[in-house]
Amino acid sequence: MALNTILVVAEAHDGGLHPVTLELLTKARSMAPDVHAVLAAPEGGEALASELGQYGASTVYLAEDARIGECVGGFATAFAVRDAAAQASPDLILFGQTYAGRDAAGCAAVLMQRTVVSNIIDLEADPELRAISTVFGGTQRVATAMSGPAPAIVVVRAKSFEASEKGTSVAEVVHLTLDLPRWVTAARVAGRAQESASGPKLEDAPVVVSGGRGLQDPKNFALLQELAEMLHGAVGASRAVVDAGWVPYAYQVGQTGKTVKPTVYIACGISGAMQHTVGMKGAKYIIAINKDEGAPIFKLADLGVVGDALDILPKLIAEVRSRIN
Ligand SMILES: Cc1cc2nc3c(=O)[nH]c(=O)nc-3n(C[C@H](O)[C@H](O)[C@H](O)COP(=O)(O)OP(=O)(O)OC[C@H]3O[C@@H](n4cnc5c(N)ncnc54)[C@H](O)[C@@H]3O)c2cc1C
């Protein structure tokens, strides 16, 4: 099926664009001649529109409205998507699978009376539009053929595609004025709290040092923090320790946590359940430390160390420190 127009739903993030937005634009460019983006943000949209152009958006539908930052859920963005789609007539609308993207995709699907397919890692357009997801820990691919009326709405996992700039293309900016009904604006976000963090974000870090139940005590995460800081990396965790309250949910890697794709992933005391590995098996090099030589994580590991992580980590930290000093 030849796709003519794809609309990418852009997401503002930390003063720039969310990396998944750039990944989606890059993929969209490879699938359709005409790529548009829609951005709903309380402010600062014009600056981001030029970056959207550099990644291939020929037109950016920009809804700048202070209420967007105050609305609960994804309806404000969904109204912008609906209005942009009315002008662009896309065959396909792509959302990034972030918290905001998931909310907005569901709301947009309701507003536009379309189905939405989520958790997608790839897209094919030939011979028909297919959204690809995986099951059984990423071992099997499932293709969902999307044959209903356009636009198809798809939510794509971060890191499914590599982002690359198109060049110095300039996007035409079309301003949207949102007509938000009372039921969207009635509930408002009263305040936001940001967890303090240092070092790179888990999703962007070149090195991730992750811990599981094998670390035996939450205080042993200090070893991971120390190692991660020396390697300019971030600390991750298995769900078992997040559920146990050892570390916040933001650390969780896996099916119901974050997907990471670092150069090096160091799994310490993590068994390697498929729900965990689905979130980290894209790492370039995987190092596992586990005292059970039969642990499933060793099937994935490029380097496996059989032993007690609580013995090995202090030695590894001392060795790394001696080399960087
Ligand atoms: C629907 C669903 C979604 C899920 N989503 C996720 C997800 O997103 N992320 C995720 O991680 N899990 C997820 N899980 C849970 C997953 O199935 C596993 O239960 C979890 O990953 C196990 O965590 P763990 O490896 O830390 O713990 P365990 O399975 O208990 O493994 C601990 C490991 O540590 C080793 N060990 C023990 N002591 C030491 C030591 N001193 N030194 C070295 N090694 C040691 C053991 O040999 C063992 O291999 C999900 C489960 C379900 C059902």
The answer to whether residues 115 and 24 belong to one domain is yes
- Model confidence at 325, pLDDT cuts 50, 70, 90, reads confident
Percent of the chain with pLDDT over 70: 100
The answer to whether residues 166 and 234 belong to one domain is no
The answer to whether residues 155 and 254 belong to one domain is no
User: Is the pLDDT score of 210 beyond 90?
Assistant: yes
Domain-embedded: residue 311? yes
Mean pLDDT of 45-57: 94
pLDDT tens-place string over residues 253-267 = 998 899 899 999 999
**What is the predicted pLDDT for the residue at 239?**
98
Cα 270 to ligand 1 centre (Å) = 5
| Geometric angle at alpha carbon 112, from 13 and 148, rounded to 5° | 110
Domain-embedded: residue 155? yes
Return d(Cα 298, Cα 289) in angstroms, integer: 9
Mean pLDDT of the chain: 94
Task: Say which CATH number the domain at 316 has.
Answer: 3.40.50.1220
The answer to whether residues 177 and 212 belong to one domain is no
> Nearest residue CA, atom 30 of ligand 1?
213
Domain boundary among 185, 220, 246: 185
- Model confidence at 280, pLDDT cuts 50, 70, 90, reads very high
Ligand 1 contacts CB of residue 273 (under 6 A): yes
Cα 118 to ligand 1 centre (Å) = 25
Cα 253 to ligand 1 centre (Å) = 11
Q: Are strands 5-10 and 92-96 parallel, antiparallel or unpaired?
A: parallel
The answer to whether residues 116 and 256 belong to one domain is no
The answer to whether residues 252 and 156 belong to one domain is no
The answer to whether residues 14 and 84 belong to one domain is yes
**What is the predicted pLDDT for the residue at 15?**
86
pLDDT tens-place string over residues 5-30 = 999 999 998 889 999 999 999 999 99
User: Is the pLDDT score of 138 beyond 80?
Assistant: no
* Residues of the domain holding 113: 5-185
The answer to whether residues 49 and 180 belong to one domain is yes
User: Which has the closest alpha carbon to 291: 270, 260, 277, 276?
Assistant: 270
User: Is the pLDDT score of 137 beyond 80?
Assistant: no
Domain-embedded: residue 201? no
Domain-embedded: residue 197? no
**What is the predicted pLDDT for the residue at 139?**
79
The answer to whether residues 169 and 222 belong to one domain is no
Domain-embedded: residue 234? yes
Q: Which residues contact 175 (CB under 8 A, 6 or more apart)?
A: 62, 63, 64
Domain-embedded: residue 106? yes
Q: Which residues contact 7 (CB under 8 A, 6 or more apart)?
A: 36, 37, 38, 81, 84, 85, 88, 90, 92, 93, 94, 151
Say if residues 309 and 269 touch (Cβ distance below 8 Å): yes
Domain boundary among 128, 151, 185: 185
Task: Say which CATH number the domain at 63 has.
Answer: 3.40.50.620
Say if residues 188 and 71 touch (Cβ distance below 8 Å): yes
Return d(Cα 259, Cα 161) in angstroms, integer: 12
pLDDT tens-place string over residues 151-182 = 999 999 998 999 999 877 789 999 999 999 99
The answer to whether residues 163 and 217 belong to one domain is no
Mean pLDDT of 36-60: 94
Domain-embedded: residue 193? no
Cα 212 to ligand 1 centre (Å) = 6
Q: Is 105 helix (H, G, I), strand (E, B) or coil?
A: helix
User: Is the pLDDT score of 126 beyond 80?
Assistant: yes
The answer to whether residues 63 and 149 belong to one domain is yes
**What is the predicted pLDDT for the residue at 231?**
96
Ligand 1 contacts CB of residue 270 (under 6 A): yes
> Nearest residue CA, atom 53 of ligand 1?
275
Return d(Cα 232, Cα 199) in angstroms, integer: 7
pLDDT tens-place string over residues 27-39 = 999 999 999 999 9
Ligand 1 contacts CB of residue 225 (under 6 A): no
Ligand 1 contacts CB of residue 31 (under 6 A): no
Report which ligand 1 atom has the smallest distance to the Cα of 292.
47
Domain count, the chain: 2
Domain-embedded: residue 313? yes
Cα 273 to ligand 1 centre (Å) = 6
The answer to whether residues 178 and 211 belong to one domain is no
Report the range of poorest mean pLDDT among 72-76, 112-116, 159-163, 247-251: 72-76
Mean pLDDT of 81-103: 96
Return d(Cα 9, Cα 101) in angstroms, integer: 8
